[in-house]
Amino acid sequence: MIKANYKKYILNFKNPSGTSRGILRTKETWFIILTENGKIGVGETGLFRGLSIDDISNYEDKLIWVCKNIHLGLGSLLKALYEFPSIQFGLEQAFLSLHSEDKFELFPSQFTSGEKSIPINGLVWMGDKDFMNNQIKEKLRNGFSCIKMKIGAIDFDTEIELLKSIRKEFSPNEIELRVDANGAFNPNNALEKLEILSELEIHSIEQPIKQGQHSDMAQLCAKTPLPIALDEELIGVFSFEEKKKLLKMIQPQYIILKPSLIGGFAGSKEWINLANEMNCGWWITSALESNIGLNAIAQFTDTLQSDLPQGLGTGGLFTNNFMSPLEVSRGTLQYNPNRNWNFKLI
């Protein structure tokens, strides 16, 4: 008989990390731990305060309910938790982990054997000009060929200067540039800003305006001079019909999938199938999980066989992350099977 409990953990950022929603210094997360016949399964429920649809005051009550009702099995629990995508994701991991030979190897592959790596983007957090410039230089030094810069918190002209400084040195063939506005632009001037950005041959922009403004976003996607990727727009869209309706109406060039925020592996696959039907591109991004959640997302991503750089470079952000086989090298995420896990909560 399977038994379940959960544990809370606070991740501490090495450097305060800036988004258009403010500065992040800590990130709370929870782990679902399953036991059965001496075996252990672990899954991370990657709640993201202020962003997750399941960021509610009685979140832990729901985790208590899950642990008491673990006997219902994964399928029934996922259906009951359709409004709690982060817990769905944690449960998917925990059950896979419990039934795997190695509890941290959820999808055995050439990636987990260390024979294959996943191309990722180098993430540049918001801050003042010098802080962002230093991050850009560091990413280039570390061999990234795709850089994603968060914009929208400082002056737009300054952000354009930073992007221009990269383009002066590196052509689009050498460095792919992505930007993430986190909904910071106003619908009235967003197109004008997209035109300025397009002159720098930007690969794509994530969520230029706030989610929920569907007709404005649809107009932007129809007129945009550079590809638009939906991110926050996907959060809280639960049913297959709603997902299809959203993509049909907005017709984005890309969608970005954060398993913690959209219902784990099953939720991500549903979005991917719809995107493929509509000739819409996609990639996977982590959402500040610890290495437990990041490991699960990376292994899942590898099964999808995408050639695009993924957003999986967040494992080094925290001072107290768990030691793991995950390594970032030359713009890729790699799994070093010779490195051991150090997960102290079990």
**Percentage with pLDDT > 70 across the chain:** 99
Selection from 232, 294, 305, 299 nearest residue 262 by Cα: 232
To the nearest 10 degrees (0 to 180), the angle between helices 240-250 and 214-223 is 50
Lowest-confidence pick of 21-25, 73-77, 106-110, 245-249: 21-25
The answer, yes or no, to whether residue 318 has pLDDT greater than 70, is yes
What pLDDT does 18 receive? Answer: 64
Average pLDDT for 257-286: 97
Q: What is the pLDDT of residues 135-158, one digit of tens each?
A: 888 998 999 999 998 888 778 999
What pLDDT does 19 receive? Answer: 62
* 150 is an active site residue: yes
Rounded-to-integer distance, Cα 195 and Cα 173, Å: 20
Q: What is the pLDDT of residues 230-243, one digit of tens each?
A: 999 999 999 999 99
What pLDDT does 116 receive? Answer: 97
Query: What backbone torsions phi and psi does residue 21 show, to the nearest 5 degrees?
Result: -95, -5
Average pLDDT for 211-215: 97
Q: In the structure, what pLDDT confidence band is assigned to residue 21 with cuts at 50, 70 and 90?
A: low
Which residue has better confidence, 125 or 10? 10
Q: In the structure, what pLDDT confidence band is assigned to residue 133 with cuts at 50, 70 and 90?
A: confident
User: Which domains does the chain carry?
Assistant: 3-98 (3.30.390.10), 118-335 (3.20.20.120)
What pLDDT does 131 receive? Answer: 84
Q: What is the pLDDT of residues 258-271, one digit of tens each?
A: 999 999 999 999 99
Element (H, E) at 192: helix 190-198
* 79 is an active site residue: no
Q: What is the pLDDT of residues 72-123, one digit of tens each?
A: 999 999 999 999 999 999 999 999 999 999 999 999 999 999 999 999 999 8
Selection from 2, 68, 82, 70 nearest residue 35 by Cα: 2
Q: What is the pLDDT of residues 167-208, one digit of tens each?
A: 988 899 999 999 999 899 999 999 999 999 999 999 999 999
- In single-letter form, the type of residue at position 328 comes to V
139, 150, 210, 243: the catalytic one is 150
Q: In the structure, what pLDDT confidence band is assigned to residue 28 with cuts at 50, 70 and 90?
A: very high
**Percentage with pLDDT > 90 across the chain:** 82
62, 210, 243, 258: the catalytic one is 258
Rounded-to-integer distance, Cα 294 and Cα 118, Å: 13
Q: In the structure, what pLDDT confidence band is assigned to residue 20 with cuts at 50, 70 and 90?
A: low
Residues 33 and 41 sit within 8 Å (Cβ to Cβ): yes
Provide the token pair at 24.
């992040």
The answer, yes or no, to whether residue 57 has pLDDT greater than 70, is yes
Rounded-to-integer distance, Cα 102 and Cα 105, Å: 5
Q: In the structure, what pLDDT confidence band is assigned to residue 282 with cuts at 50, 70 and 90?
A: very high
What pLDDT does 150 receive? Answer: 87
Average pLDDT for 223-235: 97
**Residue 310, strand partner residues:** 120
